[in-house]
Amino acid sequence: MAWKFDNPLGTLTTDDQNVSAKKLWNEETLGGITEDNKRLPQPVVALMVLTIITAFMITFPLWGKRPTAAIYAPYIEMMSSAEVQGKSDDEAMTYIVSQVKASGFEWQSELERHPLEMDDLRLIRDQLIKLKQQGVDLREYNVLGNQLVMANFEGNRRADGSVERFQPWWDKGYTIAGFFIIFFTIGVVIAIKRLPENEWQPTHGGH
């Protein structure tokens, strides 16, 4: 293969290879079945790119993830604030939710997906405060009904050998998927570029 670095894709095939390919394409009708040498339609390429982007976008924020204890920490903090005292449960909850929302909380979207009521908060309050005092990372704990439990998650290891129980923004799965897509794209581009250029169309032996 006379492959030239300054014209990599154009020189994946040599001229004589192209000549024989065209000859074959023109002469063989494969029992009445033939195929054209049309280029990949641009909408198809666009849809493919869109699919790849969507694939990462839709999975990246990990929708539907089990709620971690960390997202409820501001709620629990506000439960004991002076403004909440004396309000009915529903009012207090509305107040807390609006306050946290207004403060631009990091995991606001998670909170909206996993709404709680005051009674639910009371159940996990003491456990959450206790965990906080222990100084653990609250992201490593899931809210499981009325309990906070260590997240069911095999993550990356820290320097001291312990396991991180939450997902890093880069994840082994995403990283592998990224490489996998790159290899695929290169492979397909090579396979396609080895065909005769698409301005040429076969005549299918007159069919």
- Taking the complex as a whole, how short is the minimal distance between the CB of residue 30 and other proteins, in angstroms? 5
- Using alpha carbons, list the distances in angstroms from residue 75 to 13, 93, 105: 65, 9, 11
Closer residue to other proteins, CB minimum distance, 26 or 99: 26
CB under 8 Å to 173, separation ≥6 — which residues? none
Torsion of CA 163, 166, 168, 173, to 10 degrees: 90
- Taking the complex as a whole, how short is the minimal distance between the CB of residue 187 and other proteins, in angstroms? 6
- Taking the complex as a whole, how short is the minimal distance between the CB of residue 191 and other proteins, in angstroms? 5
- Taking the complex as a whole, how short is the minimal distance between the CB of residue 52 and other proteins, in angstroms? 7
- Taking the complex as a whole, how short is the minimal distance between the CB of residue 82 and other proteins, in angstroms? 29
Q: Which two tokens stand for residue 156?
A: 């990356």
Applying CB under 8 A, the residues found at the interface with other proteins are 17, 20-21, 24-25, 28, 30-41, 43-44, 47-48, 51-52, 54-56, 58-59, 62-67, 112-115, 144-145, 147, 149, 152-155, 167, 171-174, 176-177, 180-181, 183-184, 187-188, 191-192, 194-195, 198, 202, 204, 207
Closer residue to other proteins, CB minimum distance, 51 or 88: 51
Closer residue to other proteins, CB minimum distance, 39 or 80: 39
Q: How far apart are CA 85 and CA 81, in angstroms?
A: 7
- Which residue in this structure is represented by tokens 């006379």? 2
Q: Which two tokens stand for residue 197?
A: 């250029």
- CB-CB contact of 196 with 21 (8 Å): yes
Closer residue to other proteins, CB minimum distance, 83 or 91: 91
Neighbour tally for 173: CB within 10 Å: 10
Closer residue to other proteins, CB minimum distance, 9 or 44: 44
SS3 32: coil
